[in-house]
Amino acid sequence: MSAIAIKLGTLLIRQVTRPVANILKAQAKQHDTFKRVCVELAQRMHRVDFRLRTRLVNTKQDIKIRPLNDTRAVENGATLLSEAFVFGVTGSVVVWETLRQRTKELNRREQVSQDISYLQGEIEELVATIGRQKRAIDSLQRRTTPPSPHPPCK
């Protein structure tokens, strides 16, 4: 698959997640089970947020945390779920793309390593062939060169 098609596919997935998240958000307001999950999630998020804020301000007094009303809790919970969906899909696409690039790079390195090994083998063959040819040339030169009429001096 070409890189352009993959990039366009990931862009399409990112664009489709936002309307799907909005549908999830609308469904959360209509279905009772989903609504209860959203309310519980939003109330927990509200309590954690409130505790963090009071710790940042360093108030020593005990402040009672009032729960959110159901309408606001459903809205906050649905927003959190829809954003979590968008983040999950986008994060998955990023992880997938990273793994794909990593695999591609590892394959490229393996191919380069194989090419280098092949070329080293070819070089060794050529060196051996040159050595054989050099010995053959030397042998032929000895056969064709007449012996010297004078013996070497001592």
pLDDT for 22-66, tens place per residue?
A: 787 777 778 888 888 888 888 888 888 888 888 787 766 677 778
The whole-model pTM stands at 0.60
pLDDT of residue 154: 60
Number of structural domains in the chain: 1
Is residue 69 situated within a structural domain? yes
Is residue 90 situated within a structural domain? yes
CB atoms within 10 A of CB 79: 15
Q: Which residue has the tokens 């063959």?
A: 125
Domain that holds residue 106: 3-142
Is residue 83 situated within a structural domain? yes
Is residue 131 situated within a structural domain? yes
DSSP category for residue 103: H
Query: What does the alpha-carbon distance between residue 9 and residue 92 come to, in Å, rounded to a whole number?
Result: 13
